[in-house]
Structure 1
């Protein structure tokens, strides 16, 4: 174990951190997922200074962080963190603070339409699901929309285009992608002093920081090419990805992928934005 301090929300270098022996201070503070999580939390805690805030009279404070484990990817890059954050008020009332840090991902609703029907028609539209092992869910054949983690240097739209290519073999220009989460949030009145959450969905905010912007790509293709995607094997085999493609009627997407939160969220965003005439 090792101990050090990092910058607290008031700018002082006084927030205690107890870390595992394999995780240095520099590696921790430069881990993108940790930086985003800490900055977001500290901003939310500072909002308690507002007289109208529910917790103003007895504000919560981030008092310390205990790093419980760190997982490293190939090449020594930090991948996942498990930590316990002590967030409590002066009466000793603590908020649940067990956190699994993994950072941002991207999800893609890829809709294919045969080019022998009018573009304005919803009829015969198809969506692509990937079927792959998801060991945390105990599954070897989990259906979900194409998705993947965002690397440190990429943009969300670039990450989405990259994942579509890796998981389906289709090359999609970034300018053909629609960020449905950002588009939907534009229609919601955000308070000027509100929280600074990501423009994304949070599939498990009670335990993980993971946030997922959801993109839409609608592509017209020859009907035979769409049918040719059914059952195709894809994924980066050298990275352990064992992916089989499943092409389903768009109207059945919610049933085919009902166990996957991002699939249902993408379906709901598509339906809502379509209803409001924004896509």
Structure 2
């Protein structure tokens, strides 16, 4: 096990860190998901300095980090990290600190509308779902909106456009995507609670750092082309993807994707932004 208190550029002061033998500390400190999580936590902890903060009199401190296990992707790229963060007060009061680091993802609400009706009509809009194996959920046929993990570039819109093409076969220019999460945050004056988090939805903040910017794409196309997508097999087979497309009426999206948090979040954002005339 290795430990260090070095301060790499951009991370500020680090607590003691222990890593398993198959992970160097340098690799951890350059892992984008770790850097984002650590910086975000440090910003939140620093807010305790203000007298108005509820923890000001007995502040929490990040005292150490124990990396328990790691998973690597093809090519040896660091993929997932499981760690335990010791966040406690001087009196020994601890906060739950088990963290599954995987970084950000993107989700896309892809709406299709036949080009034989008025573009301003909300009627006859269809949403595209992917049905694929999701072993962590114990399913070989999990329905969800198109989604994918971010690469190291952090280019949200570009990654969303690429995932749409990979999972549906449709080419969508990056400029046609609307970042619904950012639009909603802007409409409410950013983070009214003072927290500086990532501009995305956190599906499981009690155990994972994952955040998901949710994008919208409205595409008009011939009705026959929309119908041809139903049941289409897609996905990158070399990456283990086995995806079947499912096209459902927009009005039924919340029922068809009821088990998937990002699908429900995308549907709620779309309905809320439409109601407030933001879309």
The within-5 A match list for 1:189-268 is 189-190=189-190, 194-268=194-268
**Alpha-carbon deviations, 1:5-53, whole Å to 9, x = none?**
244999445x101110111111011000000000000010010001100
With over 3 angstroms needed to count, the CA separation of the structure-2 counterparts of 1:149 and 1:260, relative to structure 1, is: same
Query: Do the aligned partners of residues 10 and 132 (structure 1) sit closer, same or farther apart at CA in structure 2, a change above 3 Å counting?
Result: closer
Structure 2, gaps ≥5 residues long: none
Q: The residue matched to 1:133 in structure 2 has which SS? A: strand
Unaligned segments of structure 1, at least 5 residues: none
Alpha carbons of structure 1 residues 266 and 10: separation in structure 2 relative to 1, 3 Å:
closer
Deviation, 1:192, is: 8.2
1:6–1:17 contact (8 Å) kept in structure 2 = no
- Normalised by the size of structure 2, how large is the TM-score? 0.97
5 Å matches for 1:98-113? 98-113=98-113
Give the superposition deviation at 1:115. Answer: 0.3
Q: How far apart in 2 are the matches of 1:42 and 1:255?
A: 39
RMSD: 1.6
SS of 1:201 mapped into structure 2: coil
1:129 corresponds to 2:94: no
Change (3 A) 1:272 1:129: same
What TM-score do the two structures reach when normalised by structure 1? 0.97
Secondary structure of residue in 2 paired with 1:151? coil
Where in structure 2 are the equivalents of 1:14-163 lying within 5 Å?
A: 15-163=15-163
